[in-house]
Amino acid sequence: MSNLKEAKGEIDNLSDKEVDAIIADDIALRQQEVDILKKYHPRFKQVLPIKKVAKLFKSEEEFKRELLEKIRERKAQNKGGMRK
């Protein structure tokens, strides 16, 4: 997860400089993700039909969403005292 999401509840306790650094890090991380997509999109199109490329990107997003949901569920269970 990005530092911005982790610091969500603590932003009021941080200095402006710390918040600015967290935002800059979050933007840099997002830019890296976009750069990777831009790099691999043409490569995928060389070996896959465009509809399969679209399905690949959609599947990756769904996987990320499911993974984040499972992480949230585990955090909720751990807060409830059900530690493994």
Predicted pLDDT at 14 = 87
CA distances from 39 to 1, 32, 56, 64, 79 (A): 22, 10, 15, 20, 40
Indicate the pLDDT class of residue 1, thresholds 50, 70 and 90.
Answer: very low
Tell me: the pLDDT tens digits for 33-70? 999 999 999 999 999 999 999 999 999 999 999 999 99
* DSSP, res 14: S
**pTM for this model (two decimals):** 0.63
Domain ranges of the chain: 1-47, 49-84
Residues counted in the chain:
84
